[in-house]
């Protein structure tokens, strides 16, 4: 969340940043109003607390001097002051809680480097890699859901029978291909030589997929995206929409040693999103589902310079994966109005899928400044120095696998209906070079 001190000292700058997003400014105005009330209440509470302390001391002196009647009168006055102090303390706590709730609903300020604009139409294509979309052959123009049915490797019908709409099931070669991709991504992340110069190894984590409410709040997924999340009411736990959620809160409430930064983590998990309102939109095949597999990269940094270097490292690793898989892709710089609520700057990676003739988002690589870590209370400190600083966080997918699988199946479909397996995955699939054509 935003720093209340900055809102208080630079309200116009904060308002201008939120306006770049097209955000509702009412919560900001409410925070400023409540902050004024809080400071008035705090001043009155502290003044009365000081009077209570002074009166208590005076009462003690009167009792020692034998002036009991005057002491009893002051005791009555002190009690009344004490009761008022308790009332003010309760009012202060209530206003403080209301401020925090309002702050949780205000999005992050976009980076000055994020392009201006209010919708995806204003996003900027930074670069494109690979074949031109017009160059793909006719046999590659088959949608992956038809390929999956033809080869018996994607079984949407039985997934729906088991779980309902917007679920899918990988079978045989489909399940093996997915597993090979996940394994390659995790192993690549653990190897510093496979990243950009100066990058490091990413520690593999297998976090829980059920988390507490405060863990979801830490990344900004609550309260805003409550309707899109699955809630286990009996235990008050939430299924994660991304491994970003548990990874970000691993150090919640902790003070990290500056010498340990940046800290890099990677995790493979199932992810769950209700995607309210998505019914009937991009729901065929693997394009949109309630449960999906993803490998996430997430890091803690000490500030903007280190965080942006880490963001560039995540992007480079994700690009390398797509290149190894032989996919065409493009990098988008999201405009201020299309940024996720917690992000300050995001680069989206879209893989081209010739069968559906579309660019599919397979990763978002985001820098969140100190927005998430302030919510989760993740700080760092230099040895021998006083005070702590709030961390910056970065994350990105490597990759979101359903759409990546879709792009691989369509891109590498051969004229005979077989699928050429990317060379980097062949050792994980017993040396096989192709998913066999249908008999």
Which conformational region is residue 203 in: left (phi greater than 0), alpha (psi within -120 to 50 degrees), or beta?
Answer: beta
Confidence band for 280, pLDDT divided at 50, 70 and 90 = low
Mean pLDDT of the chain: 95
Give the model's pLDDT for residue 66. Answer: 85
pTM of the model: 0.93
Asked, as a colleague might, if the bond just before 262 is cis with ω within 30 of 0, I would say: yes
What's residue 142's pLDDT?
98
> How many whole angstroms separate alpha carbon 316 and alpha carbon 190?
14
Q: How many CA atoms lie within 13 A of 41 on its CB side?
A: 19
Q: What is the pLDDT of residues 203-262, one digit of tens each?
A: 999 999 999 999 999 999 999 889 999 999 999 999 999 999 999 999 999 999 999 999
| pLDDT score for 63 | 84
Portions of the chain given CATH number 3.30.930.10: 120-435
CB atoms within 10 A of CB 356: 21
Q: Which two tokens stand for residue 173?
A: 């070669």
Work out the average pLDDT over 71-81: 85
Q: What is the pLDDT of residue 281?
A: 56
Pinpoint the residues of the chain covered by CATH 1.10.287.40.
Answer: 4-104
Q: How confident is the model at residue 69 (pLDDT cuts 50, 70, 90)?
A: confident
The residue that leads in pLDDT, 184 or 52, is: 184
CB 283 within 8 A of CB 166: yes
Quick check: 279 pLDDT over 80? no
* 152 phi-psi bin (left φ>0, alpha ψ -120 to 50, beta other): left
pLDDT at 282: 64
Q: Find tokens 């010739």 and name the residue.
A: 354
Using DSSP's 3-state secondary structure scheme, residue 330 falls into strand
> To 5 degrees, how large is the angle CA 244–CA 250–CA 255?
125
SS3 172: coil
Q: How confident is the model at residue 100 (pLDDT cuts 50, 70, 90)?
A: very high
Burial class (CB in 10 A: 0-12, 13-18, 19+), 51: middle
Average pLDDT for residues 6-31, to the nearest whole number? Answer: 97
Q: Both tokens of residue 344?
A: 């300050």
pLDDT recorded at residue 87: 94
Extended beta strands in 85-188, E state: 124-129
- Quote the CA–CA distance of 415 and 386 in Å, as a whole number: 67
Question: Using one digit for the tens of pLDDT, what is the confidence trace for 371-395?
Answer: 999 999 999 999 999 999 999 999 9
229 vs 237: CA distance, rounded Å:
11
pLDDT of residue 192: 86
**pLDDT > 60? residue 175:** yes
**pLDDT for 434:** 98
CATH number of 120-435: 3.30.930.10
What is the share, in percent, of the chain residues with pLDDT greater than 90?
86
Residue 323, token pair as written in the block: 């290149």
**Annotation: CATH topology of 4-104:** Helix Hairpins (1.10.287)
Question: What's the order of all strands across the beta sheet hosting 231-232?
Answer: 210-211, 237-239, 231-232
Q: What is the mean pLDDT of residues 23-51?
A: 95
- The pLDDT value given to residue 163: 96
User: Between β-strands 203-205 and 263-272, what pairing exists: parallel, antiparallel or unpaired?
Assistant: parallel
Q: 272 - beta bridge partners?
A: 291
Instruction: Check residue 276 and give its pLDDT.
Output: 53
- pLDDT of residue 199 exceeding 90, the answer is no
CA 199 to chain centre: 22
Mean pLDDT of 399-413: 97
CA 216 to chain CA mean position, Å = 9
pLDDT given for residue 417 in this prediction: 98
Q: How far is CA 277 from CA 57, 228, 280, 291, 312, in A?
A: 65, 9, 9, 16, 33
């Amino acid at each position: 969340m935003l720093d209340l001190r900055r809102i208080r000292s630079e309200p116009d700058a904060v308002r201008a940043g939120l306006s770049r997003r097209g955000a509702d400014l009412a919560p900001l105005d409410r925070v400023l109003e409540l902050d004024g009330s809080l400071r008035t209440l705090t001043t009155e509470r502290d003044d009365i607390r000081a009077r209570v302390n002074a009166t208590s001391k005076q009462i003690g002196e009167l009792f020692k001097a034998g002036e009991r009647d005057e002491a009893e009168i002051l005791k009555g006055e002190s009690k009344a002051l004490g009761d008022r102090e308790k009332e003010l303390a309760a009012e202060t706590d209530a206003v403080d809680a209301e401020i925090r709730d309002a702050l949780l609903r205000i999005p992050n300020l976009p980076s000055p480097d994020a392009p201006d604009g209010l919708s995806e139409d204003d996003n900027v294509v930074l670069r494109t890699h690979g074949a031109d979309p017009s160059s793909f052959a006719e046999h590659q123009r088959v949608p992956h859901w038809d390929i999956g049915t033809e080869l018996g490797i994607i079984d949407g019908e039985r997934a729906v029978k088991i779980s309902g709409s917007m679920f899918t099931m990988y079978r045989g070669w489909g399940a093996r291909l997915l597993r090979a991709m996940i394994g390659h991504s995790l192993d690549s992340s653990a190897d510093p030589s496979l990243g950009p110069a100066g990058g490091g190894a990413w520690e593999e984590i297998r976090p829980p997929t059920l988390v507490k409410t405060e863990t979801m709040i830490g990344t900004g997924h609550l309260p805003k995206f409550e309707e899109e999340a699955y809630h286990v009411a009996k235990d008050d736990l939430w299924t994660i929409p991304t491994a970003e959620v548990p990874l970000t809160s691993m150090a919640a409430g902790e003070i990290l040693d500056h010498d340990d930064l940046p800290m890099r983590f990677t995790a493979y998990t199932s992810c769950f999103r209700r995607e309210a309102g998505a019914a009937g939109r991009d729901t065929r095949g693997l394009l949109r589902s309630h449960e999906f597999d993803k490998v996430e990269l997430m890091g803690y940094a000490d500030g903007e310079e280190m965080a942006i270097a880490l963001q560039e490292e995540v992007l480079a690793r994700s690009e390398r994966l797509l290149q190894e898989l032989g996919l065409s892709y493009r990098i988008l710089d999201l405009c201020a109005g299309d940024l996720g609520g917690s992000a300050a700057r995001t680069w989206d990676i879209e893989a081209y899928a010739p069968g559906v003739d579309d660019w599919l988002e397979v990763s978002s690589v985001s820098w969140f400044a100190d927005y998430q870590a302030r919510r989760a209370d993740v700080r760092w400190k230099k040895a021998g120095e006083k005070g702590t600083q709030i961390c910056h966080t970065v994350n990105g997918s490597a990759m979101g696998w359903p759409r990546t699988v879709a792009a691989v199946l369509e891109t590498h479909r051969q004229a005979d209906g077989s699928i050429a397996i990317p060379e980097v995955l062949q050792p994980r699939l017993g040396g096989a070079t192709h998913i066999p054509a249908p008999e």
